[in-house]
Structure 1
Amino acid sequence: MSIERTATHQRSPRSFPYELRTFPSRVVDGEVPDEVAKWQQAVSLGFHGNSTGTGEETRTYATGEQVDGRMSTGAYLKDAAAPAGAWGIDYPVATYAYHRKTLNVGGGTLLPVHQITAVTVRPSHRRRGLLRAMMGSDLAQAKAAGISIAALTASEATIYGRFGFGVATDACDIEVSVKGGLEFIVPAAAAQGMVEIADAVVVRDLHNEIFARVHTATYGSIGRQDMYRLSASGQGNYGSMDPVKNIRAALHYDATGTVDGYVTYKPTDDHTRPTVEIVDLLAATDDAYLALWNYLGSLDLIDVITWGMAPVVDPLEWSMAAKRLYKRTATEDHLWLRILDTPGALAARAYAADGSVTLHVGDPLGHASGIFRITVVHGKATVTRCPEDGSVPFGLSMGVSELSSLYLGGVSARTLQAAGRVREEEQGAVAEFDTLFATKESPHCLTSF
C-alpha cells in the first residue's frame, strides 16, 4: 500500500517541535491509562520486545512499575499530524524513565540513587536533541530533589559518557566446566548448610527478602526493580511475559534452616555441549555461594555452567582445584554512575585510609563542577568546596565522568592517568587519591535496569 505525505503531514520546521510529558506508571481502577500503555508500546519498539501494549501483560508491567515508583517521560510531537497509517501523535517518539532506590557505597551506607531506564528514540526522530533534552531536564530535577548520584545500565557503550556518566562496575560472562563434578581445594567450604530443589515459582516470593540481604552485604550493589521477582523465577520479563520453559530452582539453607540463597537455571539447546545457564543467583553469605555452585557442579549430564553476571573477582575461581576450568568469555561495562552533588556523594562513601586530596572537577552540565578538598579522618570524609579564583591549588584535574568511574574504586586514578583522562597537578596526588579510594573488595552489581 502506498501512503502519500501531504503538506498537512509535514513536521513543524521548528528546531524542537516536541513536548516532554512526565507521568507515573500506574494502574487506575484496575486499568492501565492510555498514555501509559502507549508509552510502553514505544519502549517495546525501541528494545524489540514482544509487548502489545494491551491486556494483562500491560497491567503486570504497570503494577510492578507502580511499586517501584517509576516516573515515565515521553517526547510527543506538537502542532503536527501523523501521516496516514503511522502511529498517532499520542505515541511518544522518545521515552525515558526513572525510579529511585539505593546504592551500597560501603560502611553500611545505602545511598539514595536516581536510576534511569527505558531510554529510546524512534529511528525517524534521531539527532534532534531529544535525548539531551530529556536527560538534561531529568538530571537537573534529580539534583534539585537532593539526589547525589544517578545511575544506569547501558545497552550501548558510547552514548552516556557525554552526559557525565562513567563506568563504575563490570560484569563477567563465565563458563565453568563441571563434567565429572566440581572439585574444591577446601571441600568443606562448599558443603556448609544444605541445598534442596524447589519449584521456581517459590523464588518469586523469596526474592525480595534474599536480595535485601545480598544488597546490604555487597559493595556496589544497586536496588532491584519489582520485575526481578518474575524474571528470576521464570514468570516473565520486559519484552515478553511468556513463562520460561524448563526453569529449575535450588535453595540454600543455613545451619538454622533459614533460606539465605538461591539459584534458578535452565538447560540450553546446545546438544553438542550440554550446558546449563544460570538465570539468577543470589547468595547472602559465602557459604551459600559456594554451596550453590557445588550443587550446580553435581548436575548429571551437564558439561558446562554459564553465568552472565559473575563478579570481576570471583571466590568460585579461587575455590576450584582446577582453576583453568573457570573461564571468562567476556567482560563488559555494567553499572554506570553520574555524580550530581560532589560533596554529598564523596562524603557518603566509606574510605580505607585517612588523608587529604584536592580535586578540580569539570562538568559540562554544571552539576558536579568545582574545586573540592576531601579530608578523611577515621574512614569518614569531610568535603569542602573551595574558591575557584586561583587561590587554592589542587592536586588532580578530572571530569565528572572520571570521578564517577573512580567513585566505587573499580578503577584507579593511576589507570585513568595513564589513559590520559586524569591529570596530576601536584606530584604524589594520584597516589594519595588511590590510597584514599582503595576498597577492601571489588564492587559488584547484580542488577540491570
Structure 2
Amino acid sequence: MSPSNEEVAFPYELRTFPVRLVDGEVSGEVVQWSEAVAAGFYGDAVGAEEAKKYAEFEQLDGRMAMGAYLSNGETPAGAWGAGYPVATYAYHRKDLNVGGGQLLPVHQITAVTVRPSHRRRGLLRAMITADLARAKADGLPMAALTASEAVIYGRFGFGVATHNCVVEVSTRGGLAFHNPEAASRGVVEVADALVVKDLHNALFARVHAATYGSIGRHEMYRLSASGQGNYGQMTPVKNVRAALHYGDDGEVDGYVTYKPGEPAIQIVDFLAATNDAYLALWNFLGSLDLIASVTWKMAPEVDLLEWAMVAKRDYKRTETEDHLWLRILDTEAALSGRHYAADGVVTIAVTDPLGHAAGTFRVEAAGGAATVTRSADGDAVDLTLGVSELSSTYLGGVSARTLAAAGRLTENAPGGIERFDAVFASPVSAHSLTNF
C-alpha cells in the first residue's frame, strides 16, 4: 500500500519526552536532542557529560522536550542519524506576576530550532500547534516565550508584552544622586560569586513576587548568575565578581554580579528586592576605580536609577527590544486572573487563528479583580481584536488606542477604545528579568 499524500508531505514523527536522569544517567535520546538544540543556537558541542549537567537542572524545572524525527529513519551516509531530531522544542511551567500579589500559571516555551535543511516544511507549526493545544487542555491560561527572531510568533497568536533596554551608565568619578541618602541605605559588601548560586532562588522569589510582569526563572539561572555555566557553555567564567546588599535586618536583599573589563564592566545578573538595595548596588558600581561605564542588557523601560541620578544624560539607552511574548489560551481564565487598577466594564470580541481564545467576552472590573463572562453572538461589542493584540495589552504594555492607530484592532462602539484602555491600563510598567 503506497503512502498517502499527507504522509509524503510531512515525513516526520513528533515525540515528547521528559528531560531527566534515569538511575543517575542521561539517556541517548536526551543527549541527541540536546546536541540538536546546541547546534541550532550555535553553542558548544554537547556530549553525555554536558547533557547530564543540563538534565540535572531541567529535571527540577519539569522540562519536557519535543523533537521532530524522520519517520522513515533514513539519513544520508555520514550525516547525523535518525536519532537526532531535525527540529526541537521544549516547555516547562512557572508563573507570571500579573499584579496585586497574584501569580498566574504560565506555559513557557523554549529551545525552538529547525535544522536549515528541513525548514519551510511545516515543522514549527506542527510542534507549536500541538503544544499549545496540550497546554490549553491541561488548563494553562497562557503561554509565553522570549524570541530570538521577532517575526515568527505573531502568526501563532503571541504578542509582545514587555521590553528590555540595553543601558550604558557613565560612572567615571562616581554616580551623583539627587538624594545621596537614598542610595546609601543598608550595607554593600563584596562576595565570592559562588555565594550567589545559593542565594539566587530565594532572592529571585522575593523579586518575582514584587515585580509586575516578572516570569519564573528556570534552575539554570543559579549557574549563569554566578558565572558557573550556562546553556551552550558549561565552563565557569573566571572573572565574574559579586556584591551583596544587606538591609537593616542584616539579611541579603539584593546582589549584582558583573564582569570587569577596564574601562567598562558588564552586569551579569542584578536582583534587588527593594529600592534601597537597587540604588545602593548602583552606587557601589559607580564607585569602582578605573571604570568609565557600566552596561546592563536587562534594564527596565522605566528605571528609577535614571531619575535618581543628577546627571540624567549619563544614563543612555543604546537599545530597546521586545522581550516577553505572551499568548492567551483561555481568555476567561487569563483576564479574570490579572489585577485591575481601575473599575470599569468593556466587552471585546477576540479572534484567534488557532481557536483557543476566540469569543466575545464581557469584562467587569471592580476592586482590583474582574468577572469575565462569555457573551452570546450578537451582543453589543466595544472593540474587536486578535489574540496577539489582546496578549500585548494584557500587562498594559500598549494601549488599544495605539493599536487602533496602527490598524490592528477595530472599535465597534463609540468610546469602546477609551473604555478598554481605562480597564486594562496599569500604573506600573511591566518588566521581566528572565530569558528562557
Mark yes or no: TM-score above 0.5: yes
Superposition deviation, residue 40 in structure 1: 0.1
Matches within 5 A, 1:115-126: 115-126=108-119
Structure 1 gaps of 5+ residues are 1-11
CA contact (8 A) 2:346 2:363 kept: yes
Q: Over residues 185-206 of structure 1, what are the superposed CA-to-partner deviations in whole Å (9 max), with x where a residue is unaligned?
A: 0000000100000000000000
Q: Which of 147, 157, 160 is matched with 1:164 structurally?
A: 157
SS of structure 2 residue aligned to 1:260: strand
Q: Which of 395, 405, 424 is matched with 1:437 structurally?
A: 424
In structure 2, how many angstroms separate the alpha carbons of the residues matched to 1:340 and 1:13?
A: 29
Matches within 5 A, 1:31-46: 31-46=25-40
In structure 1, how many angstroms separate the alpha carbons of the residues matched to 2:196 and 2:374?
A: 47
Matches within 5 A, 1:23-422: 23-55=17-49, 57-268=50-261, 274-388=263-377, 390=378, 392-422=379-409
CA contact (8 A) 1:409 1:439 kept: yes
One-letter amino acid of the counterpart of residue 394, structure 1: V
In structure 2, how many angstroms separate the alpha carbons of the residues matched to 1:196 and 1:315?
A: 22
One-letter amino acid of the counterpart of residue 398, structure 1: L
SS of structure 1 residue aligned to 2:385: strand
SS of structure 2 residue aligned to 1:417: helix
Q: Over residues 104-147 of structure 1, what are the superposed CA-to-partner deviations in whole Å (9 max), with x where a residue is unaligned?
A: 00011110000000000000000111000000000001000000
**Which sits farther off after the overlay, 420-429 or 33-42?**
420-429
Q: Over residues 356-389 of structure 1, what are the superposed CA-to-partner deviations in whole Å (9 max), with x where a residue is unaligned?
A: 000010001000001101011212101110112x
In structure 2, how many angstroms separate the alpha carbons of the residues matched to 1:259 and 1:235?
A: 21
In structure 1, how many angstroms separate the alpha carbons of the residues matched to 2:238 and 2:405?
A: 48
Superposition deviation, residue 353 in structure 1: 1.0
In structure 1, how many angstroms separate the alpha carbons of the residues matched to 2:46 and 2:364?
A: 54
One-letter amino acid of the counterpart of residue 145, structure 2: L
Tell me what 2:16 maps to. Answer: 22
In structure 1, how many angstroms separate the alpha carbons of the residues matched to 2:303 and 2:159?
A: 23
Superposition deviation, residue 13 in structure 1: 7.5
In structure 1, how many angstroms separate the alpha carbons of the residues matched to 2:239 and 2:60?
A: 29
Query: 4+ residue runs of structure 1 moved beyond 3 angstroms?
Result: none
In structure 2, how many angstroms separate the alpha carbons of the residues matched to 1:234 and 1:80?
A: 40
One-letter amino acid of the counterpart of residue 185, structure 1: H
Query: Normalising to structure 1: TM-score of the pair?
Result: 0.95
One-letter amino acid of the counterpart of residue 257, structure 2: T
Superposition CA RMSD, Å: 0.9
One-letter amino acid of the counterpart of residue 84, structure 2: Y
In structure 1, how many angstroms separate the alpha carbons of the residues matched to 2:47 and 2:146?
A: 24
One-letter amino acid of the counterpart of residue 167, structure 1: V
In structure 2, how many angstroms separate the alpha carbons of the residues matched to 1:49 and 1:21?
A: 23
Superposition deviation, residue 440 in structure 1: 2.0
In structure 2, how many angstroms separate the alpha carbons of the residues matched to 1:238 and 1:51?
A: 11
CA contact (8 A) 2:189 2:243 kept: yes
One-letter amino acid of the counterpart of residue 21, structure 2: V
Superposition deviation, residue 52 in structure 1: 2.2
Q: Over residues 189-240 of structure 1, what are the superposed CA-to-partner deviations in whole Å (9 max), with x where a residue is unaligned?
A: 0001000000000000000010000000000000000000000000000001
One-letter amino acid of the counterpart of residue 396, structure 1: L
Superposition deviation, residue 58 in structure 1: 1.5
In structure 2, how many angstroms separate the alpha carbons of the residues matched to 1:128 and 1:37?
A: 25
Q: Over residues 35-94 of structure 1, what are the superposed CA-to-partner deviations in whole Å (9 max), with x where a residue is unaligned?
A: 000000000000000032322x22110010000000000000012411000000010000
Task: Note if 1:425 corresponds to 2:418.
Answer: no
SS of structure 2 residue aligned to 1:328: strand
Aligned residues between the structures = 431
Superposition deviation, residue 447 in structure 1: 0.1
Query: Normalising to structure 2: TM-score of the pair?
Result: 0.98
Tell me what 1:5 maps to. Answer: none
SS of structure 2 residue aligned to 1:372: strand
Superposition deviation, residue 245 in structure 1: 2.4
CA contact (8 A) 2:241 2:260 kept: no
One-letter amino acid of the counterpart of residue 420, structure 1: G
One-letter amino acid of the counterpart of residue 36, structure 2: A
In structure 2, how many angstroms separate the alpha carbons of the residues matched to 1:141 and 1:13?
A: 23
CA contact (8 A) 1:51 1:240 kept: no
CA contact (8 A) 2:260 2:266 kept: yes
